[in-house]
Amino acid sequence: MARRPPRKPLQLGRPSPIPASPAKAVLDRVANPHANTNYVARFTAPEFTTLCPITGQPDFAHLVIDYVPGRYCVESKSLKLYLNSFRNHGAFHEDCTVAIGKKLTALLKPKYLRIGGYWYPRGGMPIDVFWQTGKLPKDVWVPDQGVAPYRGRG
């Protein structure tokens, strides 16, 4: 019988520098303590930062990630480090938002996941990006993401 190699320890509980890029970041998952119950876990990153791939100027977003876990939950410290790894990474708004959703989906295999990327204006125009996968279970309540549409000084 083949033995599985030991799993690398979680980043939780030990010093963990911010990864140099999203490609070098490691997302950890943990067992869902309520795998037989449908519920929503929400992560909000109100100060997400990345770089414009053309100008190199910083871009800022308010990210909201909602998911209904299956067998696994994302470990929050690893998620924070992963999101912080974008701060020196050049990518368009659409790419960042969708890539984050897809990476979480590949790791967790959630029943449902949605991500809202509420980007602050670049060139005078805000860009909001939304992506989701899976089917929301009927018995689950998902509140509005609570991010107001962009308003100028109005």
Residues known to be catalytic: 52, 59
Distance, in Å, from the CA atom of 54 to the CA atom of 90, rounded to the nearest integer, reads 8
Distance, in Å, from the CA atom of 95 to the CA atom of 6, rounded to the nearest integer, reads 33
Tokens at 6, concatenated: 């030991």
Dihedral sign from CA coordinates of 82, 86, 92, 93: positive
Distance, in Å, from the CA atom of 101 to the CA atom of 64, rounded to the nearest integer, reads 10
Q: Which amino acid is at 144?
A: D
